[in-house]
Amino acid sequence: MSAGERLPGTPQPMHRWSGAGGVSIAGDAWGDPRDPLVILQHGGGQTRHAWKGTGRALGAAGYHAVAFDARGHGDSDWAEDGAYSQDVMVQDLRCVVHALGDRPCILVGASMGGGTSLVAAGEGAVDARALVLVDIAPRIEPEGVEHIHAFMFRNPDGFASLEEVADAIASYQPHRPRAANLLGLAKNVRRRENGRLYWHWDPRFLLGHRNLTRRQQRLEECARALTIPTMLVRGAQSDVLSDEGVEQFKALAPHSEFLSISSAGHMVAGDRNDVFGDAVVKFLGRTLPSGARAAGGLQATQDRPGREYPDLNDIP
């Protein structure tokens, strides 16, 4: 099950893996597969393409960077049963890590992908050795989340052209220049039988019940459990992660580092890709275990059994 036909000329995924329940997960990779593994997970409504610049920078810096489309997004399958809970997203992450050899990994996640990364690291679902959270923390601002959801629910009847797609994005991100190259937007939409263009995501992933109180409690518990090197990155113009949310996270994970990126909103990597990529490379260069690159990967430690993840459907 998918959004429709991909537009001509849009990039094909470099890899495909089987996620939870057999959902096909599409991904790209950069760098030498023998180097330390970095998993990049995008936010809701985004795709693996959000990490292209960062992935290239990590590959050039001696890491094996892997970005994949979350289920119901981009070139990954839509879930036939409409399952898009955070627990099933964690299961998909575990499937990808397993397909890559069950190696220790570094997790980098934005928004929705950051929540998945925090749960996976805090609850030991994967052998995470470092964590970068991008504009996400246990406490987020409801107004900012509603702003995102309002945009994603907009235009239910699709678009007649890429010009209309560009107008919609410009209205949501007025701080960014309007896209000059419309062909670059083609990967964000699919053409259905009626000839109109629709966003690449499954709208059902926005419809599940979300217990935001339980969400915050769970992520707080995960943040307290962190012992690995951790960096929280915030877009200075973000309406999702506030100063109060940052301070709470720093209290929960006092060993963590914090970086605020000016001239960036919630879509930090897209707004300031150069600054963000450089910051991640420098952070990982400081925190990667000594000799790991020469050994061809992160050094293994004791096995940590992953917990089972019931379908709580509590986080967007």
What confidence score (pLDDT) does residue 207 get? 81
Residue 313 confidence class, pLDDT cut points 50, 70, 90: very low
**Residue 124: Cβ within 10 Å count:** 16
**Residue 242: Cβ within 10 Å count:** 17
pLDDT single digits (tens) 251-287: 999 999 999 887 666 566 554 566 788 889 999 999 8
Nearest one of 253, 264, 225, 244 to 140, comparing CA atoms: 244
What confidence score (pLDDT) does residue 299 get? 46
What number is the average pLDDT over the span 193-204? 94
**Residue 172: Cβ within 10 Å count:** 17
pLDDT single digits (tens) 281-303: 999 999 875 344 434 445 433 33
What confidence score (pLDDT) does residue 287 get? 85
Tokens of 33: 């597969």
What confidence score (pLDDT) does residue 3 get? 74
What number is the average pLDDT over the span 36-51? 94
- Sign of the C-alpha dihedral computed for residues 82, 85, 90 and 91 taken in this order: negative
Q: Where are the domains of the chain?
A: 5-140+212-294
| Stronger pLDDT, 222 or 146, i.e. the higher one | 222
What number is the average pLDDT over the span 17-46? 96
Residue 312 confidence class, pLDDT cut points 50, 70, 90: very low
pLDDT single digits (tens) 92-112: 999 999 999 999 999 999 999
What letter does residue 114 receive in the DSSP assignment? H
Residue 183 confidence class, pLDDT cut points 50, 70, 90: confident
As assigned by CATH, the class of the 5-140+212-294 domain is alpha beta
With the CA atoms of 264, 266, 272 and 273 taken in that order, what torsion angle do they form, in degrees rounded to the nearest 10?
170
